[in-house]
Amino acid sequence: MARSGPARLFLSPPHMGGGEQAHVAEAFASNYIAPLGPQVNAFEAAFAEATGIAHCLAVASGTAAMHLALHCLGVGPGDLVLASSLTFIGSVSPARLLGAELAFVDSAPGTWNMDPDMLREALTRLASEGRRVKAVIPTDIYGQCADYARLLDVCAPFGVPVVADCAESMGARAYVPDSDDSLHAGAWPGLAASIFSFNGNKIITTSGGGMLASHDAELIARARKLSQQAREPAPHYEHAELGYNYRLSNILAAIGLGQLDMLEARVAQKRRVFRWYKELLREEPGLSLMPEAPTGRGNRWLTVIQLGQDFGAAPETVRQALEAQNIESRPLWKPMHLQPVFAGCRAFPCAVAETLFHHGLCLPSGTAMTREDVERVAEVVHRTGVAGRKQASCSAT
């Protein structure tokens, strides 16, 4: 039986702009129903233009892009890779699939992104033990650029390449110090490569898809070969090494072309949704929103709140109250050092990531949300806090 009542509010649903279908129709007309074709080429070119990263490879997912990036950097058995603990598993599983060991670095409390000081400590300690780190993977969490400049400065003396996980930060900007300029997420000079995701919940989507982008033409050429079963240039199928089947479908690239046109509007709307929440929730005791780092302008992919003791209700209580009103919300990414699959990994202290996870909740942040939708969510959050505080004061008397 169909559920009655208000329509479901999803966390971050796809939002088509209308132009996608024309690109898909063009792909159909040319019969490039294939993992290669004019729409893939055009999508890579348009992505390079939009981000300022000259060399781009469209692939099946963000995870595939990370797998290719790490493979190109030579990550393999016996190597150690350092990554943000507060991230999604697709950021780090490729390192493990390549046979490397992982160790996780904590977030900075003011940005929630990889803490450069904690990274320096980890690299110094590992160097003193004679361990060489093969790559560092900072995640641009919830659409906010990591402090690329500081992270690269920390890594430089150790000679460790940095691969930026920009899966969530399409459209975000990183400010260039001492200037009025900014760079697109992942475009910072000195990064070995950056990966992006066009999964269905991302700010722009191809239903599933990803991009590997780099200023290094050779790295992308190598990744391109690997992404096509490492086929050698020959008329027959010749293979001197193993690769992957990771190319993006031409049909999905066509969707991506339409979505790219909408990017600026989507960023503006995500930021507007965040501002509405901020205004509506400003007087809730013990509630705070994810801070914006002074080093950039995030895309506010998701509006994320933290609930302290004073709020009166735990994030899970709020999540259930929202669900009862047909509203989807979700806990933050459970930090990687707490995941059973990484139980044996080297653990550096990750207290900030743990606290953020235990106290946080991601609120619906779709770009088609209206002010009334946001008010509906905020009202449930408000009521749940009030009820929790009332209950606490009753049981105290």
Ligand X SMILES: Cc1ncc(COP(=O)(O)O)c(C=O)c1O
Chain contacts with ligand X (rule: CB under 6 A) = 61-63, 87-88, 90-91, 139, 165, 167-168, 197, 199, 210
Sheet holding 346-347, edge to edge: 133-137, 80-84, 101-105, 346-347
Of 169 and 384, CB closest to ligand X: 169
Contacts within 8 Å (CB) and 24+ apart, 285-291: 285/310, 285/311, 285/312, 285/385, 285/389, 286/310, 286/311, 286/312, 286/385, 287/311, 287/381, 287/385, 290/112, 290/142, 290/144, 291/110, 291/111, 291/112
Residue 113 CB, nearest distance to ligand X (Å)? 11
Of 321 and 362, CB closest to ligand X: 362
Of 59 and 327, CB closest to ligand X: 59
Q: Which two tokens stand for residue 1?
A: 């039986």
Of 115 and 168, CB closest to ligand X: 168
| Residue 345: CA count within 13 A, CB half-sphere | 30
Residue 63 CB, nearest distance to ligand X (Å)? 3
Residue 196 CB, nearest distance to ligand X (Å)? 8
Of 116 and 210, CB closest to ligand X: 210
The C-alpha atoms of residue 286 and residue 289 are separated, in whole angstroms, by 10
Of 12 and 39, CB closest to ligand X: 12
Residue 393 CB, nearest distance to ligand X (Å)? 39
Residue 350 CB, nearest distance to ligand X (Å)? 16
Residue 120 CB, nearest distance to ligand X (Å)? 23
CB 83 within 8 A of CB 105: yes
Residue 62 CB, nearest distance to ligand X (Å)? 3
Of 167 and 219, CB closest to ligand X: 167
As to burial, measured by CB atoms within 10 angstroms (0-12 exposed, 13-18 middle, 19+ buried), residue 74 is exposed
Residue 340 CB, nearest distance to ligand X (Å)? 19
Which residue number is nearest to ligand X in terms of Cβ?
Answer: 62
Of 168 and 328, CB closest to ligand X: 168
Residue 167 CB, nearest distance to ligand X (Å)? 3
Of 205 and 384, CB closest to ligand X: 205
